[in-house]
Amino acid sequence: MQAASLTELCCEESSIEPEELAEEWRDLEQWASNTVFLSWQWIGVWLSVFQPKAKVLRVTQGTRLVGLGIVVRSIERRHAVLRSRCLYLHQTGVESEDQIWIEYNGFLSGRGYESAVAVACLNHLKRREPDWDEFVIGAADENYVQSVSEASGLVSHVRWEAPCFGIDLSSLRSSGQSYLDSLSANSRHQIRRSLRLYEQIGAVTLVRPKTHEEADLVWGSIAPYHLARWGDKTGESGFANPDFVRFHQSFIRTNWKAGAVDLIVLKAGEEVIAIFYNFLYRNRIYFYLAGIRSETDNRLKPGMLGHALCVEDYLDRGYDFYDFMGGEERYKRQLGVRHQYLVRAGLQRDRWKLRAERAARTIKNRWELM
């Protein structure tokens, strides 16, 4: 149940004043149920690195601030002929800048105000900004996007979707069960066999950088593995994208001392097997990416082994949840449990060009099913 009705909320927009916004954002964050991607840790770096031409939406209930969002206007061209005027939430609409992969997106809202704040902002934009076609949001919780779409009278066009997988460390800790014992027999076998084989090289250990300078070096050393796995062309590995690299270098430098970034090197003896880059926020681990050594022996599973050892380590350290976030990758299904579903969607106004696009897409999908 929402803590307020729409009639009680007021939405206003303004240009960005960094110092004022940082204070407001951090204050609201204290009683919001947001993830790391709506923390000032992420948003502040995003603003400083890309400096988008953006508007701030503020939602108040009386004199109390209950919601914030940052919207960027951009033109999107599709199918060579369609031109859509888009408003992006916490993204710029520039592909190279948006490859930083924000997830669990939405308006920053006080707990209990989530849907009401989103609808108040969209209603305000419909009244005050008549010339936009789509409000682009994502990756965000499917239920959140659907409820906001229905309440605001906008049509949701899903552009991307994926399940989220994770591991409830609090439940494991309460049960007294080890992480490995919670997995299937086949997954346990693959991880234990991989561990034995790597131990033939040397002791298998997890090593963390101790200083910011070491963290910079570890971050950079992920690149060759990631490029080899995902490719070095536009839209493939983020390490092929200077905007992606610039953002994450700044994110690490800004948030390292606060303990919001975790870089973990998995080693067998002195050999590097894998490197993991995670975010830490409110006792939750967000697995962001990894550099995994390629192996010719298919009995060796450096990624699975690394995740399993990291999970056990975080379990011992008292963390509550290990989040693989969005993606269909097989290892996420093997190692975690589905806990959410994410979508990236354009919430569309009633425009003939968008109706025509949806009709064409429906016909195309029917033909593909025949």
pLDDT digits (tens, 9 = 90+) for 113-158: 999 999 999 999 999 888 999 999 989 999 999 999 999 999 999 9
Kindly state whether residues 185 and 314 are assigned to the same domain. Answer: yes
Least reliable range by pLDDT among 36-45, 101-110, 128-137, 254-263: 128-137
Question: Cα dist. 291→20, 96, 220, 260, 312 in Å?
Answer: 38, 21, 10, 20, 20
- The per-residue b/e assignment along 166-176, b for 16 or more CB within 10 angstroms, e otherwise, is bbbbeebeeee
CB 68 within 8 A of CB 108: yes
- Are residue 142 and residue 240 in the same domain, yes or no? no
Distance CA 66, CA 118 (A): 11
Q: What is the reported pLDDT for 79?
A: 83
- Residue 112 structure tokens: 């209990």
Residue 91: inside a domain, yes or no?
A: yes
Same domain, 198 and 317: yes
Please give the structure tokens belonging to residue 299.
Answer: 């009995």
* 19 or 364, which is more confident: 19
User: Are 361 and 161 a contacting pair, CB within 8 Å?
Assistant: no
pTM higher than 0.85 = yes
Predicted pLDDT of residue 4: 57
Same domain (yes/no): 261, 171: yes
Distance between CA 256 and CA 251 in Å, rounded? 8
The reply to whether 160 falls in a domain is: no
How sure is the predictor about 363, in pLDDT bands with cuts at 50, 70 and 90? confident
Q: Is 330 exposed, middle or buried (0-12, 13-18, 19+ CB in 10 A)?
A: exposed
Domains of the chain: total = 2
User: Given this model, what pLDDT does residue 1 score?
Assistant: 35
Tell me, yes or no, whether 179 and 145 share the same domain: no
Per the CB < 8 A criterion, the answer to whether 319 and 284 are in contact is yes
On the question of pLDDT at 368 being above 80, the answer is no
Q: How far is the C-alpha of 163 from the C-alpha of 330, rounded, in Å?
A: 12
> Looking at residue 308, what is its pLDDT?
98
Where does residue 51 fall: left (phi above 0), alpha (psi -120 to 50 degrees), or beta otherwise?
left
Q: Mind listing the pLDDT tens digit for each residue in 163-177?
A: 999 999 999 999 999
Tell me the C-alpha distance between 33 and 231, whole Å: 36
Q: What is the three-class DSSP state of 57? A: strand
Q: Which range of residues forms the domain containing residue 195?
A: 166-339
What is the model's pLDDT at position 81? 84
Same domain, 224 and 320: yes
| Residue 48 backbone dihedrals phi, psi, to 5 degrees | -75, -35
Is the pLDDT reported for residue 340 higher than 50?
Answer: yes
Tokens coding 208: 């963390």
CATH number for 298: 3.40.630.30
- Residue 344 domain flag: no
Q: Would you state the structure tokens that stand for residue 174, as one six-digit string?
A: 């309460």
Residues paired with residue 163 on neighbouring β-strands, in sequence order: 341
Rounded to whole angstroms, how far apart are CA atoms 265 and 126?
A: 49
For residue 154, give the DSSP letter. Answer: P
d(CA 225, CA 275): 9
Are 234 and 127 in a shared domain? no
Is the separation of the CB atoms in 286 and 220 below 8 Å? no
The answer for 137, left when phi > 0, alpha when psi is -120 to 50, beta otherwise, is: beta
Task: Looking at the structure, tell me whether residues 138 and 188 fall in a common domain.
Answer: no
Query: How big is the chain by its Cα radius of gyration, in Å?
Result: 22
Give the end-to-end CA distance of the chain in Å, rounded to a whole number: 43
In a domain, 1, yes or no: no
Question: Residue 208, Cβ neighbours under 10 Å: how many?
Answer: 12
Query: Does 138 reside within a domain?
Result: yes
The mean predicted confidence, pLDDT, of the chain is 95
Q: Which residues pair with 338 in a beta bridge?
A: 165
Same domain, 116 and 263: no
Question: Is 93 in the same domain as 131?
Answer: yes
Q: Is 161 part of a structural domain of the chain?
A: no
Same domain, yes or no, for 25 and 87?
Answer: yes
Element housing 339 (H / E): strand 337-348
Judge if 150 and 199 occupy the same domain.
Answer: no
pLDDT score of 90 = 98
